[in-house]
Amino acid sequence: MLDPLLTPITRKVLDYPARWLVKRQVSADQVTVAGFLVGLLAVPALAAQAYEVALVFILLNRVADGLDGAVARRTSATDAGGFLDIVLDFIFYSAVVFGFLLASPFEHALPAGLLLVTFMGTGASFLAFAVIAAKRGIENPRYPNKSLHYMGGLTEGFETIVAFVAFCIWPEHFEMLALIFAAACWITAITRIVVGYRTLSEAN
């Protein structure tokens, strides 16, 4: 929801480190993969209930997720890079939830399972529309620099980061926080399904 407002700010902040990486011939894809691998370290940290450590890995992953785009803009943005970025993002999001499930299998199983199903709803509606939007040539002026058509919603990248941070700061309230975030994500998924269907129906 807040991504369009925050994007110009994060771009300015990340431009300097992006220039530094470009001078050292670090590619956007390398930043994407490195950030993904660092992010996965949050899973064993969460399983061990080392929530502060996990939070560091999660935040590093999110910084890398913005930094790879900054590097791509200073070099050359590619479809392959965009594909890699979005796939690894969705795997990372699900892996973090799985880490919380491992931290407390009995208490976290239901909310974590529900959240994973919810991520499937937001992800499937997002990606399915992006594929058909590209085929139809439908543009999205709110996200002009995205590698694929980006459907917004109540819960986007920033809101997901906020949720993950809250999970790590208040792990004792994971069940309640996960259920609240899942409800917000379902609002996003349902909105995307309705708007996407209407948009494609009108385009016929």
Tokens in use for 203?
A: 């385009």
d(CA 192, CA 195): 5
141 half-sphere exposure, CB direction, 13 A CA radius: 0
pLDDT of amino acid 118: 94
Which CATH number belongs to the domain containing residue 101 in this structure?
1.20.120.1760
pLDDT of amino acid 9: 72
What residues in the chain have per-residue pLDDT under 50?
none
pLDDT in tens, 137-187: 776 655 555 555 667 778 888 899 999 999 999 999 999 999 999 999 999
The boundaries of the domain holding residue 109 are 3-203
For residue 77, how far is the Cα from the chain centroid? 18
Q: Domain total for the chain?
A: 1
| Segment 48-53 long-range contacts (CB within 8 Å, at least 24 positions apart) | 48/103, 49/103, 49/104, 49/171, 51/168, 51/169, 51/171, 52/168
Q: 137 in the Ramachandran plot: left (φ > 0), alpha (ψ -120 to 50) or beta? A: left
* pTM to 2 decimal places: 0.88
**All residues at 6 or more sequence positions from 90 whose CB lies less than 8 Å from its CB, including other chains:** 119, 123
pLDDT of amino acid 16: 83
pLDDT of amino acid 153: 77
pLDDT of amino acid 140: 66
Q: Under DSSP, is residue 74 helix (H, G, I), strand (E, B) or coil?
A: helix
Note whether 32 and 88 are within 8 A (CB): yes
User: Using the 8-state DSSP alphabet, how is residue 143 labeled?
Assistant: S
